[in-house]
Amino acid sequence: MEGKEEDVRLGANKYSERQPIGTAAQGSEDKDYKEPPPAPLFEPGELKSWSFYRAGIAEFMATFVLVYTVFSATDAKRNARDSHVPILAPLPIGFAVFLVHLATIPITGTGINPARSLGAAIIYNREHAWSDHWIFWVGPFIGAALAAVYHQVVIRAIPFKTKS
């Protein structure tokens, strides 16, 4: 029983003649190259870094989700079909606002409303607030416009008028 503690401490590398393949695979001394460490799938530091693309896409997607939810929850055709929809419309809208805030607060602070972003920039009134302020206007306007087009053309299947 005296040598058992040493065996446990050394592990399988003590008996290389009994496990030649396993031991050879474990040893890195005879390799003529160094393997790079595997790239992480996700780095938490990415959420703290800020870029124009990430902010613009976040604002666009957040506004698209919110406006599409509002259009879908308050659709006139749906109200005729489902009599309980006007009463329950605030629930999906509020849930969409909640989810949008959860997703975009770490990225941009959640603009989704240009008036709210403008008010915060006026109160803060530093150059840093104004230098990137256009993102909080362009992203929501494009997101809202595309949500409206998507709802009208795809969901309600209203064709574009053409000259004939």
107-121 pLDDT, tens digit per residue, is 888 888 889 888 888
User: At the topology level of CATH, where does 50-155 sit?
Assistant: Glycerol uptake facilitator protein (1.20.1080)
158: amino acid identity, one letter: I
What single-letter DSSP state applies at residue 32? Answer: S
For residue range 139-158, list pLDDT tens digits in order.
999 999 999 999 888 877 76
Distance CA 144, CA 131 (A): 23
Distance CA 110, CA 107 (A): 8
Find where tokens 């790239």 sit. Answer: 39
> pLDDT tier at 45 (50, 70, 90 boundaries)?
low
pLDDT of residue 46: 60
Write down the pTM of the prediction: 0.62
